[in-house]
Chains A and B, each alone.
Chain A
Amino acid sequence: MFRPSRLLMIIGLCCLTLFLVLAGWLHSVGDLARRATLPAVRFVSKNAAAVFLSRSSSNVSLSPEEVRTLESRLTRLAVDYTRLKALEEENKALRLQTKFLTSSEFDSVGAHIISRDLRDERALLLIDRGLQDHLEIGQAVITDEGIFIGKIYSLKERVATVELFTDPHSRVAAALAGEQRLIGVVEGRGNGAARLTYIPSSEKIQTDQIVVTANTQDKVPQNLPLGIVNAVLGKPTDPFLSAAIEPLVHLNQISLVSVLRPSVFRSP
């Protein structure tokens, strides 16, 4: 067994380390260790995600009813997409005509997910970008397709934690696609679910409408799609309605994300 002197030494060492951690004096050591180990962690997590996420996505089985629902939704979205594409073309032509200068306020930086915690009560991701990449708490995180998935929750020098919008602590101001005004707040419900709450009962909200981010948060650009209305809940006499929101992407299948940061950090 451990000798009393050795035991005291271990306890003392642990107490000293705990004190140094709490005082924040080990941050630089931690950053140095992260700098040395991050390539290995990134390599391992990238390959694990590539192997296991592709395998699990190929095993998804749907019931005939779910297939029918998804097909009808796809048809409606295809119609919307065609209409939007036509509008986009028209918009491009108009911009060219007026020599409109497009300048986005945001720039994106790609990041790999190196760890994650997707439990019933929590939906967090750990990405390989941090303070050194000019990230800030509250910045929007999107997928490759530009779908909003969450916000930066905490930061370290080389890594950052992303809180997905399905996390029970997450709150995101939302609007309906095509409408500029704030309609409610998307609250995470855990287990991959979210709910749009505080919808004034005067609002006309229907299933299959796309929910996007609203223009009320400094670090989150507006019109980033985040989910689709699955069901509208509440009676017409209620002051507020709520709606079940289904994410547009499988949040447990993501391995690459982009963080939107102010465009001043855009590399030349």
Chain B
Amino acid sequence: MRRIILAGLLGALAGLWEIAVRPFLPIPFMFRPLLMIVVMLLVVSRRSRAVASAAAGAIVMDLYALPVFDFALLRWLLLIFCLDLLIRRVLTHRSWYAAVSLVLVGRFLEYSTAWLIGRVSFWTGFTHVAWSRDVHWWIPAIWDVGFVSLVFFILVFLTQRFVTSVLRPEERSFGRF
């Protein structure tokens, strides 16, 4: 329980970063940490902590959202569900490729759901400010890939968690002719 609370605090800090620090950063440093944290927690199979950190971060973002109608909590819970489905059914192996694919799919889903909610609320008249894509949308994606790769390799180095214990068939001595 304590670790779930810690994950929630980490998510809230990430949300705080996204609303109160990121807008003041120079463009190349405008990274968004919440998705990176959530994806790494999913990669190491800490689903409940991932949900806690996503929910806490989304609540902070909802509290201080600019007048674009957004429902970050709903979006992020949906995102977690999709990523969890993906990691269980498609990207079942734990590799660097899987982690990077997961974070890129996550970023795409995050933008897509924000666009969908923003557009629907604009069309239905809930807001007069339409959601618009960030011009530098690819900068957070680059940071996502970099951060996830770095943390993944650090985890491999420190914990030996994802090192394969079985040799590939062509490298087995008994399989050679």
How many of B's residues come within 8 Å of A, CB to CB? 31
Question: Out of B63, B78, B85, B129, which one reaches A33, CB within 8 Å?
Answer: B63
Complex CA–CA separation, A169 to B130 (angstroms): 11
**Is B23 a contact of A116 with CB atoms below 8 Å?**
yes
Question: Out of A30, A55, A117, A119, which one reaches B63, CB within 8 Å?
Answer: A30
Q: Place the interface of chain A in its size category.
A: 35 or more
**Is B64 a contact of A7 with CB atoms below 8 Å?**
no
Question: Out of A17, A48, A121, which one reaches B20, CB within 8 Å?
Answer: A48
Q: Given contacts A1-B84, A14-B74, A122-B129, are A49 and B64 in contact (CB under 8 A)?
A: no
**Is B132 a contact of A122 with CB atoms below 8 Å?**
yes
**Is A115 a contact of B26 with CB atoms below 8 Å?**
no
**Is B60 a contact of A37 with CB atoms below 8 Å?**
yes
**Is B16 a contact of A119 with CB atoms below 8 Å?**
no
> CB within 8 Å of B: which of A114-140?
114-122, 124, 126
Chain B's closest residue to A59 (CB) is B26
Complex CA–CA separation, A49 to B59 (angstroms): 23
Question: Interface readout for A135-151 with B: 1 if CB under 8 Å, 0 if not?
Answer: 00000000000000000
Q: Does B93 contact A (CB under 8 A)?
A: no
Q: Does A98 contact B (CB under 8 A)?
A: no
Question: Out of A14, A21, A41, A56, which one reaches B19, CB within 8 Å?
Answer: A41
**Is A115 a contact of B77 with CB atoms below 8 Å?**
no
Question: Out of B17, B21, B128, B135, which one reaches A169, CB within 8 Å?
Answer: B128
Q: Does B88 contact A (CB under 8 A)?
A: yes
Chain A's closest residue to B127 (CB) is A154
In the bound complex, residues from chain B placing their C-beta under 8 Å from that of A48 are 20-21, 24-25
Give 9 new A-B contacts, CB below 8 A, not counting A37-B60, A41-B64: A10-B81, A41-B16, A44-B16, A44-B17, A44-B21, A48-B21, A114-B64, A119-B132, A124-B67
8 A-B pairs with C-beta separation under 8 A:
A1-B88, A10-B77, A34-B64, A41-B16, A49-B24, A121-B132, A124-B129, A159-B64
A residues sitting closer than 8 Å to B (CB atoms) are: 1-2, 7, 10, 14, 17-18, 21, 30, 33-34, 37, 40-41, 44-45, 48-49, 52-53, 55-56, 114-122, 124, 126, 153-154, 159, 161, 169, 255
